[in-house]
Amino acid sequence: MYHKEKSIQIKNSASSLYNNLSVQRIAPRHLTYFTVVHANVVNMVSASWDGLNYSHRQLQSKEPNVATSTSLIMQAAFCVLPSRDLLVVTSQKGIQMYESDGSIMVYWHALDTPETPTAQAIFGRGISAVGQNYICVGVSSGSILVFDVPSKGSNITLSEVLEEHNESITDLASECSGSQECIADLVSADDGGNLYVWKSGEEFQILNKIAGFDMTCSSVKLWKGTVVAGYGTGQIRIYEAVTGILHAEITAHARWIYSLDIAPFSGLLLSAAEDSLVRVWHLTLTPETNSVEVAHLHNECVTDTQICGAKFCDGDGYAFAVTGYDLSEIIRYTQT
């Protein structure tokens, strides 16, 4: 179903972090951007579609006005809003937002870090664009920061802080189907496997809470009102967002799941874990009967690699890319 393409070499190896690959397709310029985090550096590659041109850039987690800092980065993700695209980077010290080519930093938000370290680690993790003009970022305390992003310029403001989760946020996802009918537009996941479903607005509203089972939900997606969640036990669970009804449960992987992705136009689901496997599934939603069908389509084994990032490169799922711990390349697969 898929075959391996030529890999893209990156300047550093990928660190073992959840969802450690972000992909953005720039159709008008026939380019795709990739970001992979290595310790305190974000490796960015811009790849031309004809496979002939690659350009690299590295971003460091430095706060402005401080001489030096070694702050480890937890996640880097592209946020696509109707008016603009930004690259958001979260670290132990705070949240940085760049123009999506990484050229200029447009905003910096510092996290409250105490003088002497405490037992509770402090960092940002979980990034998603939501609705027309919001970017949400999760924090290790369980808070979710909601930033209001104007259509241009750097006048980004912190609009709200959502304090519902009691455990560290692991991932955030917004409704990716493009459908205007879905009420829920954000789902947040935490270290206890708890999922909160939100409606965005000037004040975000909780639509539902789906209780966890004391196991980290490391990656989550929201598609056509359906939550797809991956857990440390290797399980994938599919819920109806607003009601919390469990549609399906898959014993998908033999180790901790690190990344999920959905191709919104085709309903293909990608899952990747520390067990070296990437799996492709197909989801069929039947609103009339409120049922979900799941079919397993394909496996790829990345030998001797603990996978930490896997994303589709386009909305149909024609191609996907994979990163692994200690691997200095982005491995690509395309449909045969």
**275 near other proteins, judged by CB under 8 A:** yes
Per rule CB under 8 A, is residue 290 in the interface with other proteins? yes
Which of 142, 234, 264, 317 forms a contact with other proteins (CB under 8 A)? 234
* CB of residue 146 to other proteins, shortest distance in Å: 23
| 215 touching other proteins, by CB under 8 A | yes
Task: Quote the CA–CA distance of 308 and 328 in Å, as a whole number.
Answer: 12
Sign of CA dihedral 160, 166, 171, 176: negative
Show the tokens assigned to 322. 């994979």
Rounded to the nearest whole angstrom, what is the least distance from the CB of residue 84 to other proteins in the complex?
Answer: 31
Interior/surface letters 222-231, b for 16+ CB within 10 angstroms, e for the rest: bbbbbbbbbb
By beta-carbon proximity to other proteins, the closer residue of 38 and 86 is 38
Among 250, 268, 319, 330, binds other proteins (CB under 8 A): 250
Q: Could you say whether residue 121 binds other proteins (CB under 8 A)?
A: yes
168 makes contact with other proteins (CB under 8 A): yes
Gap between the Cα atoms of 24 and 278, Å rounded: 20
CA 12 to chain centre: 20
According to CB under 8 A, which one of 22, 33, 38, 88 is a site residue for other proteins? 38
| 163 touches other proteins (CB under 8 A) | no
Residue that has been written with the tokens 């992987």 in this structure: 253
Residue for token pair 């982005």: 330
242 is an interface residue for other proteins by CB under 8 A: no
List Cα–Cα distances, 114 to 120, 131, 171, in angstroms: 11, 33, 24
Minimum CB distance to other proteins, residue 247 (Å): 6
Residue whose CB is less far from other proteins, 133 or 259:
259
Q: Considering the complex, what minimum distance in angstroms separates the CB of residue 75 from other proteins?
A: 12
Q: Is 27 in the site for other proteins (CB under 8 A)?
A: no
Residues that bind other proteins (rule: CB under 8 A) add up to a total of 69
* 133 binds other proteins, rule: CB under 8 A: no
Window of 49-57, 152-160, 230-238, 314-322 that interacts with other proteins by CB under 8 A = 230-238
Q: Each residue of 239-271: b (16+ CB within 10 Å) or e?
A: bbbeeeeebeebebbeebbbbbbbbbeebbbbb
- Could you say whether residue 306 binds other proteins (CB under 8 A)? yes
Contact (Cβ atoms closer than 8 angstroms) between residue 90 and residue 97:
no
| 296 Cβ neighbours under 8 A, 6+ residues apart | 279, 280, 281
Q: Which residues of 75-112 are buried (b: 16+ CB within 10 A; e: fewer)?
A: bbbbbebeebebbbbbbbbbbbbbebbbeebbbbbebe
Rounded to 5°, the CA angle 294-299-302 comes to 145
- Region binding other proteins by CB under 8 A among candidate stretches 23-31, 77-85, 200-208, 292-300: 292-300
Choices 46-54, 76-84, 203-211, 323-331 (CB under 8 A): range interacting with other proteins? 323-331
Q: What is the binding site for other proteins (CB under 8 A)?
A: 11-13, 15-17, 38-41, 67-70, 72, 74, 92, 116-121, 123, 167-168, 170, 190-192, 214-216, 218, 232-235, 245-256, 275-277, 290-296, 299, 301, 303-306, 325-326, 328
